[in-house]
Structure 1
Amino acid sequence: MSQGTGKAKGRWCYKMAHMFNAGIELTFTGDNIAILRMRNGENRIDRIFTEAFNKALDTVERNSDCRALITTAEGKFYSNGLNLDFLKGKERYLFGLLCLRVLTFPVVTVAAINGHAFAGGALLALYHDFRVMQTKRGWISLNEVFIKAPLSGSMPLIRAKLSGRASHDLAVLGKRYTAEEARDYGIVDVASSPEDLMSSARSLVNQYTSKQKYDRDTLKAFKEDLYREVVDAYSSLMKSRL
């Protein structure tokens, strides 16, 4: 399986795809970037999704040559958030643990947001190191305020990553942002045309990984230190479940 033409073709040559439940597919490019694609319509998040996503992350970690992870999807949605039954159920914490794993993942991570990223879908993207969002289609929004779903576990992350006005309007008021607006407010790093979305994500990866290799244990430890308030918040939530 390959993607791209001309000089780009070699960079996008893929090795065998790994298929998981919930429409999650993982491939590795010829230059050792993992591409995780969500291929299940709205990509609603539930137990099956979190288990499949974690298995894909396990596969990335087993590949010692892999230098970065790009997550993306197909169609109108990056992810439309949590399945409502999962949101209201006792296993919702599994999504929080997945987000924490993404936040402290031992390679560089980029969310290539191809369409709408609402609620838990937007949160999942925010837990990556970087975000690229395509123009012309899609909003990013934390609309939990409208469905009375608390963001308590993720508020430290939002405070750490976003400035005052953006964090207030996104997390408190549930404002929707286009790619250009999200870039201007620092919610995403790059607003890209749809046809250049993956190339833009790759460019971000190469800015940080083309000339040096990160030791995975060190990178994970530095992420944990930088986001200590987030890590501690999740530790407290897990202790409260015991």
Structure 2
Amino acid sequence: MTGQPRTGENGEAAVGGLVVSDLGDRVLARIDRPATRNAIDAALVDALHALCAELEREPRPLVLTGGEGIFASGADIRQLRERRRDDALRGINSAVFDRVAKLPMPTVAAVDGHALGGGAELAYACDFRVATTRARFGNPETGLGIMAAAGATWRLRELVGEPLAREILLAGRILDAPESLAAHLVTEVVQPEDLLPAADRLVDRILRNGGLAVRLTKLALRMPPGAHPAFDDVAQAVLFETEEKERRMTAFLERRRPAGGTS
């Protein structure tokens, strides 16, 4: 991490309102700005960029979470009020959320409580979202005289469909946990004490698969329609030459071989 990280127990590093734990085969990052209800400010954006740089160098799944009862309340309004045209054109939040979305390995947002505005857009940028029974997702930006410009206008439409996205973005609808599950915005709803275990179970399922196959499949999902099937053919050609493919397919065939068989 950049800046002057504060190192705590279990290898945690805290900087810019982000507490990062290296868990070996995965990384857990927790937004920790309780005084502002985990509002996303410039320091947190810098910390997220630094985290992305680490995961680009050493690809591993990421679990991103907040505090008890709050994921992230959105952009820091005090800073947002001072921003002008050139700040908007820099894409301060949209750039880092796009970087999160493009991380090589899958990402999981573990959401307890409110994920609003920029907080919701950060969750939308993750590959998966697991939530507690008290989770709430929404984009109230138009009520502040601005728009949700860090990915919601297109990521949310892809996730839940245009009619519901319009209701959230234009009419301020807030989705509770059951509604989010029904809309496939989240993959699972659990009790608050089971949130991180549920995220870990999902990561465990991902890690049971071939790492390079997961990375290339995630990349294929991001390709524009015109890139297919050529991209898929080239990616598959790479995978066909790996030891991992040989090992996994051999193990599969060995498991299927009848007892006493010779072939």
Give TM class, smaller chain: 0.7 to 0.9
User: Which residue type is aligned with residue 121 of structure 1?
Assistant: G
Secondary structure class of the residue paired with 2:223: helix
Gaps spanning 5+ residues in structure 2: where? Answer: 1-8, 227-263
TM-score normalized by structure 1?
0.78
User: Which residue type is aligned with residue 138 of structure 2?
Assistant: S
Give the Å deviation of 1:196. Answer: 0.9
Pairing partner for 1:27 from 16, 21, 26: 21
Secondary structure class of the residue paired with 2:62: strand
Equivalence map 1:1-242=2 (5 Å): 16-21=11-16, 23-30=17-24, 32-41=25-34, 42-64=37-59, 66=60, 68-88=61-81, 89=83, 90-92=86-88, 93-135=91-133, 137-152=134-149, 154=151, 155-214=153-212, 218=216, 221-225=219-223
Aligned residues with identical type, % of pairs: 23
TM-score normalized by structure 2?
0.72
Distance 1:209 1:73, change over 3 A: same
Where in structure 1 do 4 or more consecutive aligned residues deviate above 2 Å?
59-64, 85-88, 151-154, 206-209, 214-224
Distance 1:133 1:217, change over 3 A: closer
User: In 1, Cα distance between the equivalents of 2:10 and 2:73?
Assistant: 29
Distance 1:75 1:111, change over 3 A: same
User: In 2, Cα distance between the equivalents of 1:44 and 1:86?
Assistant: 10
Count of matched residue pairs = 210
Give 1:3's aligned residue: none
Give the Å deviation of 1:15. Answer: 5.1
Gaps spanning 5+ residues in structure 1: where? Answer: 1-13, 229-242
Say which is worse superposed, 199-208 or 106-115, in terms of deviation.
Answer: 199-208
User: In 2, Cα distance between the equivalents of 1:78 and 1:29?
Assistant: 21
| Structure label with greater radius of gyration | 2
- If asked which structure has higher relative contact order (CA below 8 Å, sep 6+), I would say 1
Q: Are the aligned partners of 2:108 and 2:126 in contact in 1 as well (CA < 8 Å)?
A: yes
User: In 1, Cα distance between the equivalents of 2:214 and 2:135?
Assistant: 33
